[in-house]
């Protein structure tokens, strides 16, 4: 192996190590959390952003902001949450790590654990020929968690109104 090849491989390994270091985004509106620390989202929403709240109300309370770097509005203090509005109402939250359900299910959780925590889930297969994740819909009344997964682990969580979670899964909607 030539020195140039060795340096190139070493650089790639160092970059991969830094990229996977477990450091979460930080900023003035994103509270510092230890790696592995999670915030819980319930079927009512977050502690300061409830499902059914209007965009106007969340903006007035200083919770909704339009960040030029984001693909849509974001919730202040929640860098890993994308709100989805329909007819000016918060209907879904698209969640990334470190968000979890009250049962501790989050991105990276094995599917078997998600099924054990929510035994009445409905399996939603990915459309044939698509590059989309499959889903597990855990419904409680008019609310639900939709766990998007790769067949092994949960990759994303969507929480909110069950009919909108199912509709957005069927239509292939994303937060951007």
Q: pTM value?
A: 0.75
pLDDT at position 18, please?
37
Per-residue pLDDT reduced to its tens digit, 79-89: 678 899 999 99
Q: Please, where are the H alpha helices in the chain?
A: 3-19, 55-60, 111-117, 162-171
- 92: β partners: 84, 160
Residue 13: pLDDT band with limits 50, 70, 90: very low
Q: What helix, strand, coil percent values describe the chain, rounded to 5? A: 25, 35, 45
- Whether 44 and 144 have beta carbons less than 8 Å apart is answered as no
Eight-class DSSP state of 119: T
Per-residue pLDDT reduced to its tens digit, 113-142: 999 999 999 999 988 888 889 999 999 999
pLDDT higher than 80, residue 163: yes
Residue 67: pLDDT band with limits 50, 70, 90: low
Residue 15: pLDDT band with limits 50, 70, 90: very low
Angle at alpha carbon of residue 20, lines to 76 and 103, rounded to 5° = 60
Q: Phi and psi of 114, rounded to 5°?
A: -65, -45
């Amino acid at each position: 192996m030539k020195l140039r090849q060795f340096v190139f491989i070493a650089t790639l390994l160092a970059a991969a190590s830094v990229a996977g270091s477990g450091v979460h985004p930080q900023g003035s509106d994103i509270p510092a959390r230890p790696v592995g620390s999670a915030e819980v989202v319930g079927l009512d929403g977050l502690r300061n952003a409830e499902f059914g709240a209007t965009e106007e109300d969340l903006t007035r309370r200083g919770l909704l902001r339009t960040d030029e770097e984001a693909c849509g509005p974001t919730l202040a203090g929640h860098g890993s949450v994308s709100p989805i509005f329909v007819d000016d109402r918060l209907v879904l939250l698209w969640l990334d790590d470190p968000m979890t359900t009250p049962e501790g299910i989050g991105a990276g959780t094995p599917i078997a654990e998600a099924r054990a925590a929510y035994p009445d889930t409905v399996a939603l297969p990915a459309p044939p020929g698509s590059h989309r994740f499959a889903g597990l819909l855990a419904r409680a009344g008019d609310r639900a968690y939709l766990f998007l997964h790769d067949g092994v682990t949960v990759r994303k969580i969507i929480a909110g109104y069950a009919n909108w979670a199912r509709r957005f899964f069927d239509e292939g909607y994303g937060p951007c």
